[in-house]
Amino acid sequence: MQSDSTHLLPNGKNRRLRFFSGIPVLFFLFFSGQGCVSYLYHLGKEQAKILLQRKAIPEVLADPEIPETTKTKLKEVEKIREFGIQELALSPEGGFKSFVQLDRPAIGWHVSACHPLKFESYTWWFPIAGTVPYKGYFSLEKAKEEEQSLKDQGFDTRIRITAGYSTLGWFEDPLFSSQLYEDPGDLASIVIHEMAHATVYFPGDTLFNESYASFVEDAGSDEYVFKIGGPKLLEERKKSEEETKLYKNIIIETANLLKAAYSEGSAEDIVRAKKIEIISNFRKKILQTKWTKINSKKLAERDWNNEDFIGMLRYNSGTSYFRKRFLEVGKDFSKFHDEMRKLKEKSAEERKALLEEK
């Protein structure tokens, strides 16, 4: 189950909505004095289960009980991982050397929230990961409880399915059964994105981290698809993604309109009215656009809020900046990652300014 509760697209088109689960076992004592015992117990228990249940991919491939379809996908993942290391200069600590068969349809669910009249995310702080605008759970019911608490405080909220998972190289992150996408390009996308997190990561800077990983995902998966299928397969993949790209661009366009409205400093009632107008126009645009794979009626009927729009920006900012830097180093991934690491000395606000450059 790859699609999430926010963007109603066909399977495999919402790979970028994910959360970082943290390293709960190592930091249990740290949180015990801060009212987080039950949450850390939940994460620690499930993380321990993941560590115990994972099996090395060669072991899974040798198991006669495993379906051939699963083995075929796991062999593809091995190729993608090696491609990521050798051709994309991604960290070998990025995982995907083992497999976990889940007893649920998704790795987990994460809750995000935003101020209703500002593009200001509600945030949590965790060791190593730093400040992040989402809180992950391995239980949908627990995620719903967290969301309701935030709603009661007046925030715009959303629960999303967790498509990817990374411990930033602290553990060997496995491939999960929910990530066994049919399309090799989709498999490449999820593996490359999570390996990118283990390659370059700035604690507390979700906007940069996710946007960087998304850029590497797009550029890297294109190269992988080209390698296995040549220009024809890559062209077919690009064509199949045209509708998704159009849909994403409409959301980003609306997000920028909302962002501009919130920055005007008008009275609250004026801002609220402007928000309603912008989202109403967004619904009309969705209905007026001709789609072949997207259910425009369901999208128009849903209760859109700030978290839906800021969530899209969170994973899709700075494309022009990343592309420019990538071209400057001659599309050399190793040099590109090195250039990104140099930004460590900058603050999150300074990196954000870079992503906003035209």
What residue ranges in 263-342 does DSSP mark as E strands?
A: none
132: pLDDT strictly greater than 90: no
Q: Which helix (H) or strand (E) holds 3?
A: none
Instruction: Please give the Cα distance from 244 to 99 (Å, whole number).
Output: 29
- At 221, the pLDDT band (50, 70, 90 cuts) reads very high
CA distances from 74 to 2, 50, 60, 68 (A): 17, 18, 9, 10
Q: Mean pLDDT, to the nearest integer, of 205-213? A: 92
pLDDT at 358 over 90: no
- How many whole angstroms separate alpha carbon 134 and alpha carbon 171? 21
Residues 13-56: tens digit of each pLDDT: 444 333 333 333 333 333 433 446 788 788 888 888 888 899 99
Taking Cα atoms as reference points, which of 227, 122, 182, 246 lies closest to residue 2? 182
Assess whether pLDDT exceeds 90 at residue 99.
yes
What are the b/e assignments for 59-70, b being 16+ CB within 10 Å? ebbeeeebeeeb
**Burial of 193: CB neighbours in 10 Å, binned 0-12, 13-18, 19+:** buried
Ordered DSSP codes for 52-109: HH-EEHHHHHT-TTS-HHHHHHHHHHHHHHHHHHHHS---GGG--SEEE--SSSSSEE
| pLDDT at residue 298 tops 70 | yes
- The pLDDT of residue 234: 95
Q: Identify the CA nearest to 21 among candidates 111, 115, 156.
A: 111
Q: Mean of the pLDDT values across residues 292-313?
A: 93
Who wins on pLDDT, 17 or 354?
354
Residue 121 is classified by DSSP as: B
Locate 72 and state its tokens: 């075929």
Spatial separation of the C-alpha atoms in residues 193 and 215, rounded to whole Å = 8
Classify the phi-psi angles of 7: left when phi > 0, otherwise alpha if psi is within -120 to 50, otherwise beta: beta
76-90, 95-109, 322-336: range with lowest mean pLDDT: 95-109
The predicted structure's pLDDT at residue 43 = 81
- Give strand pairing partners of 132: 124
**Rounded CA separation 177/106 (Å):** 8
Share in percent of the chain as helix, strand, coil (round to 5) = 55, 10, 35
211 pLDDT above the threshold of 80: yes
pLDDT 10s digits, 173-205: 899 999 999 999 999 999 999 999 999 999 889
Specify the pLDDT at position 77. 96
Nearest of 16, 6, 21 to residue 136 by alpha carbon: 21
Identify the burial level of 200 via C-beta atoms within 10 angstroms of its C-beta, where 0-12 means exposed, 13-18 middle and 19 or more buried: buried
Per-residue confidence (pLDDT) for residue 306, from 0 to 100: 97
Residue 171 to residues 88, 183, 346, Cα–Cα distance (Å): 21, 27, 27
Query: Please, what sign has the CA dihedral across residues 255, 260, 264, 269?
Result: negative
Residue 166 has pLDDT above 90, yes or no: no
Q: What is the pLDDT of residue 72?
A: 96
Checking if the pLDDT of 348 tops 90, the result is yes
Residues 6+ apart with CB under 8 A from 89: 199, 333, 334, 336, 337
Confidence grade of residue 160 (pLDDT, cut at 50, 70, 90)? very high
- What pLDDT score was predicted for residue 103? 87
SS3 of 194, please?
helix
Average pLDDT over residues 139-162: 95
pTM for this model (two decimals): 0.82
pLDDT at 9: 46
**Distance between CA atoms of 250 and 254, rounded to whole angstroms?**
6
The mean pLDDT of the chain is: 87
